[in-house]
Structures are given as structure tokens and as C-alpha cells.
Amino acid sequence: MRATEALGVDGIPVSVLKKGIEVLAGPISHLVNRSLASGTVPTALKLSNVLPIYKGKGKSAADPASYRPVCILPALSKILETVVKTDFEIHLAKTEALPNTQFGFRRGRSTTTALATAHAKWLKAEQRGKVLLPKLKKLGIEGMQLEWFKSYLSGGSQRVVWNGAESDFLNVKYGVRQGSILGPILYLVLVADVTSCVGIGDEENSSYADDFFLWAVGDSLEEVGLLLETKADAFSKYAGGNGLVLNAAKTQFMIGGKAKKKDTSAFTIRVGGVELHPSDEIEFLGVKFDSDFTTAPHNAYV
């Protein structure tokens, strides 16, 4: 855990815990064990401060969209989540619960790994129990372990801290708290069944965190277009059923192979009710590809 001096609601700097670890290890271990044994997360550890960070770059300081919210969690909360995350990752590895096509938020599977292979918000509060908890149960998380996650996913509150002033606490209605240790791995569990539910194979998709990349191969442009529309529609329905939203405004598609030699300017597909025209180049994980599947556009950009 990084020794940052940004303080959470508990007012305890991480540096204090590090320096006093010999004295504090016992009480902290007791707190962690009591939480796990009782299947509950202390309410005090589900409180967080949100700091608005100005993005700069000529953006209006009066516009709320010009600020990036950074969530500061209690130091003890991070320790508790780290303990759970370590055991949870071991369990997920043993059960092979996560698909090989998902690279984000996983040790040894970086952006570079995803690009090489592909060459290549969040849950609403009322859906957490309906969607994520049953998936955890299917993975063998039961009893007090499941109760702990149920407690973790409910009852969180946060407040905005700005220039020494503090707002009232408000319940976290959507998703988990930003900056949480368990948030990323729980997201992977949430979408681990996407390929089986949508009906696509490992050779037809790749994903990194919440970026999803799929492709289709066919004998004609029309066949490929139909395949892409079918897959995109199935994915959109899957996302909706899991409390997620397919961002059609950020969705692109590109035509490669022999079809790209034809005039495809009038060719369109519909994704999430939005009509999309083919792009000459497409960006995946910050790298630009052209219709020959080379990185020439990215090389020129760099």
C-alpha cells in the first residue's frame, strides 16, 4: 500500500500505519478477522472523501465537468480490502473463473499484453444484490464470505472535501467507491460470463477492463455487417441486464480485407440504436490501427 498523506474520513495517514506496524499489527489483524468472521464491513470503513481535481488544459474552472473526482478511502479500509482481494484472486485462479480474453485489472496482463494478443457505470445500487452476488455464489463464495461481500456492496457514503470545507455525507447510489481495492476485480467477475451469454468465442473478442473489442469474418460485406450487428445487439442487451451501458457514442467499427477496396462509404451498421459509418482507422487501448491492421496511423501520430 502506497504511503500517501491524503487523509480519508478516519484521518489516519498510511505513513502512521507503516511506521507503527509493530504495535498496530495486532489490533488491525483483530479488526480484519472480526470483519471476515461476522460477514460485515464496519460502516466507518465505507465512508470516503471525494476531492475535485482540476483537469486544467484551458477548461473552465466554473464547470463541474472540468474536475476529476478522486476518492480518498480510509487507510484501514484499504488494508481490509487488500486481505480479501489476495484470497479472492487465489480463489478465482483456482476456479478459472475469469476468461483469458480479459486483460484489465489482472496481474501479468497489462495493456501491452492485451494489444499483443488482440493486435489486438458501474453497477447500480439496486442491482448489486440481483446481479453480482449470485455470480459470486456460483463461484463458490458462500456463508459469511458472501455476507461480507453483501455488506461491502451496501451502505457506502461519501462527501466532497474542497478548500477545507466538507459537504454532508450522501449514500453511494451507483457502483462501488472509486479507488477501492476490490472494485476492479469485482467488475471482472461481473462481466466474466460475457462471451458465453453473448454467444461469442475467445477468438472473436478481446477486452481490457471496460473496453470491449470484437470482430467478425465473412464472405461478403453484408454478412460481416449482419454478424457485427447481431453481436453488438446481444452485447448491448447483456450490458443492460448487468447494470452497464454500452456507450454507442464511443463505439467504432472498421472494415478490413478485400471489402475495404470497395466503396463502403454508404455501408452502415446499427449499435444501440445509433447508426455507425466505417472508420478508416480505429483506436484500441490508445493505439491506432488502419484497415490493413497495421499501426501506421499510430506511428505517424507519435
Domain ranges of the chain: 14-193, 214-290
Half-sphere exposure of residue 302, counting CA atoms within 13 Å on the CB side? 9
Q: Is 23 exposed, middle or buried (0-12, 13-18, 19+ CB in 10 A)?
A: exposed
* pLDDT, tens digit (0-9, with 9 covering 90-100), for 74-99: 999 999 999 999 999 899 888 877 76
Residues 210-265 pLDDT 10s: 677 777 777 888 888 888 888 888 888 888 888 777 777 778 778 776 655 566 77
Angle of helix 75-95 versus helix 183-191 axis, rounded to 10 = 30
Low-confidence ranges of the chain (pLDDT < 50): 103-105, 108-126
pLDDT of res. 121: 40
Residue 73 and residue 48 in contact, taking contact as beta carbons nearer than 8 Å: yes
The span from the CA of 176 to the CA of 187, in Å, is 10
If we measure between CA atoms, which residue out of 143, 115, 243, 234 comes closest to residue 186? 243
pTM of the model: 0.69
